[in-house]
A and B are shown apart, each in its own frame.
Chain A
């Protein structure tokens, strides 16, 4: 068979498969190389996607490093549920958590009340908890320093003695059953001027003197920023949100020095110190690593080595991670989706099932899909790749199906009448003719995947989502753009590449269109 007759598909499909498998091979080798180097115990620290958690994560990482472990920090891994699941699955060895979150959220419904019950519930899951780190990050009422000093306010009971003060609470705090209504009853607060408003507006009100007090979390950076006094909850109304370190019970066997080192943090971090660290990281945008290192130096007297990544290196790494996420998931999706599309076009019944199934995946919110992956695949690159792969299927399957079923009837009949068997008809006639449709499906998938991959950072897959996530956490537009702009450029580039590919892959006779008819 001559080179012309073979059609356009066969050799190029081969090329796709080859480049995909070499990519997979590379990933595998990189993984092996990373594993082979180190004989120190590997300890994975996790943190949630807010500043305090990231700073504490850095602190734990440096402490583990100091205790002779090879520690990595999987920073900004979404919310509590993701971390808790990852810890149980062994994807993470330790992370900072709050007793209140454990009681009210993660172990809700188990009726955990006492510390002993809490420890038992954790032990059932193969987990342990450190002693409290010292600060309690719970709901609190903050008052302007000037007001507090003038009236001698120290506790919430003191607040009850001054009903003339103007209070402004976040809408959430006003609405929650355990918020303002319960607080008022507990302390017998009889203030007349109480407003529900946006949190930012409340801070602005405090700054301008239009308000005297607002609700906040006791270690918020805003406490320092607006120079507030946090009133003591002397009747213990608000639940305890003591910061602790959660870790896997098996860590004691794998890295005993790390577990022992945790005790060095017992009660060492006060609310004031945590506010200070949060303020430095969140308001002054100091790298969390440096903030944590300074604390360790002054409190525990050791000099941790802080790696700081420059702007260029950071973007380069994010680009590499993002390309790997998109490349592997999209490549696999192409390899799987085209045959699925062909199947769907060939068999009506199966086709409907296949189209419905890939369509169903698309209706799962991307964040939810990522979270579903954690129990199956843990955190990091692979669950993100699998989720992205599932998302990338639909446009390609649908385009392949539409491209094949939309072929002119006389052309399909002619191919059959010539005596070509079904496989040859597909390869020589139907796929080349549908190649334009299939490519535009792939193009759509590529653009979607580039965008969705930014969410991968929430489960530790890195990529352009990482600077975006950090930027949101720090309200730093520059940092958000550092992820968003390259992601947009990459999406445009993907589009451009597939438009070029169209010129190269779609047979000339189809591209001529009606122009020369």
Chain B
């Protein structure tokens, strides 16, 4: 279970997060949405202890995230950072296996785990020996996902894991991802700025604006019962596609 209580973080004059309260029960998927610069990435960084909040508390399964506890807790989190963050000097296999090798896993164990992940994420096995520059955008996203899943974390933090893909590949990856979440029963926080995608993954959307949580609810609730004008405008900006999805996904 993830808990944020009254979390604030500012960079100079910018309030990246201000007074954010959020609870994500174990096994649930939550989608963070909001316009660019509203604090989505900052929220994930605070959750993972990469950034310490100015005030408020962050807890993971009841344990407080502090500078001292963060490094150990981080190994129980799978984090796909915005942009993927693949290591260009390592092959796909090198990227995924970096951490278990560092932790001293046997080669057999690494290989077995990789095998399972390649199947789970439907990554072409011959791509494992290629470097990131030699992979397609979709393949790179799958590598980033495998790397995050490698140590079998309880919690997944995904920062726009499907950014910058063509609609076909994106749809295909969305299906694959949703299946992975359902199959593994992880606690997931997924960032997207796309309402349709958020609704596809979760019935619990968290809409952020300028560091504050504006509304939490299903897509239907956002459409039917917006708390303010901003929610209406945000939803309207996505009008064309969500109509169909609101019927199927919510």
A residues engaging B (CB < 8 A)? 1-2, 4-5, 7-8, 408, 410-411, 413-421, 424, 428-429, 432-433, 507-510, 512-514, 516-517
Contact = CB atoms under 8 A, between A and B. Distances in A.
Given A410-B85, A414-B85, A416-B50, A5 B133 contact: no
Given A1-B101, A5-B102, A509-B131, A414 B81 contact: yes
Contact of B133 (A2, A419, A420, A512): A512
B89 A424 contact: no
A508 B89 CA distance: 7
Contacts of B110: 2
Contact of A414 (B86, B101, B131): B86
Given A414-B81, A420-B99, A509-B132, 12 more contacts: A4-B93, A408-B83, A408-B85, A411-B88, A413-B50, A413-B81, A419-B72, A419-B74, A419-B75, A428-B98, A509-B131, A516-B134
Contacts of A410: 81-85
B71 interface: yes
Contacts of B75: 419
A501 to B, nearest CB: 16
* Most B CB within 10 A of own CB, among A414, A424, A432: A414
B104 to A, nearest CB: 7
18 contacts: A2-B101, A5-B102, A7-B89, A408-B83, A413-B50, A413-B81, A417-B50, A418-B99, A419-B74, A428-B98, A428-B102, A433-B87, A508-B131, A509-B89, A509-B90, A509-B133, A512-B131, A516-B133
A433 B107 CA distance: 24
Interface in B107-122: 107, 110
Contacts of A509: 87-91, 131-133
B36 to A, nearest CB: 16
A381 B89 CA distance: 41
A351 to B, nearest CB: 21
A513 B86 CA distance: 14
B79 interface: yes
Interface string B108-150: 0010000000000000000000011110000000000001000
Contacts of A419: 71-72, 74-75, 99
A413 B99 CA distance: 14
Contacts of B91: 4, 509
A5 B97 contact: yes
B29 interface: no
A510 B102 contact: no
Contacts of A513: 133
A414 B87 CA distance: 9
Contacts of A414: 79, 81, 84-87
A426 to B, nearest CB: 13
A420 B102 contact: yes
B43 to A, nearest CB: 14
Contacts of B98: 5, 418, 420, 428
Given A5-B94, A512-B133, A516-B134, A415 B102 contact: no
B48 interface: yes
Contacts of B48: 417
Interface string B62-85: 000000000110110101011111
Instruction: Please provide the 3 A-B residue pairs with the shortest distance between their CB atoms, ordered closest to farther.
Output: A414-B85, A509-B131, A5-B101
B144 to A, nearest CB: 8
Contacts of A418: 74, 79, 98-99, 147
Contacts of B134: 512, 516-517
A415 B84 contact: no
A411 B90 contact: no
B156 to A, nearest CB: 12
Contact of A411 (B72, B86, B97, B99): B86
Given A421-B71, A512-B134, A513-B133, A415 B87 contact: yes
A510 B94 CA distance: 14
Nearest to A435: B89
A4 B50 CA distance: 27
Contacts of B81: 410, 413-414, 417
A1 B103 CA distance: 8
A12 to B, nearest CB: 14
B88 A510 contact: yes
A433 to B, nearest CB: 5
A509 B147 CA distance: 18
A413 B131 CA distance: 19
A410 B160 CA distance: 12
Contacts of B83: 408, 410
Contacts of A413: 50, 81, 85
Nearest to A5: B101
A2 B107 contact: yes
B63 to A, nearest CB: 15
A497 B38 CA distance: 51
**Most A Cβ at <10 Å: residue of B79, B82, B98, B107:** B98
Given A417-B50, A417-B74, A509-B132, A1 B87 contact: no
A299 B83 CA distance: 87
Given A413-B50, A417-B74, A4 B131 contact: no
B102 A1 contact: yes
A348 B49 CA distance: 22
Contact of A1 (B84, B85, B104, B131): B104
A427 to B, nearest CB: 10
Given A417-B50, A418-B74, A424 B102 contact: yes
Interface in B28-66: 48, 50
Contacts of A421: 71
Interface string B144-180: 0001000000000000000000000000000000000
A513 B97 CA distance: 23
B79 A417 contact: yes
Nearest to A1: B101
Nearest to B131: A509
Contacts of B94: 4-5
**Which of B50, B72, B90, B94 lies at the interface centre, i.e. has the most chain A CB atoms within 10 A of its CB?**
B90
A235 to B, nearest CB: 81
A413 B51 CA distance: 11
A425 to B, nearest CB: 10
A416 B101 CA distance: 16
Nearest to B150: A418
B42 to A, nearest CB: 12
Contacts of A424: 102
Given A419-B71, A419-B75, A429 B133 contact: no
A517 B50 CA distance: 30
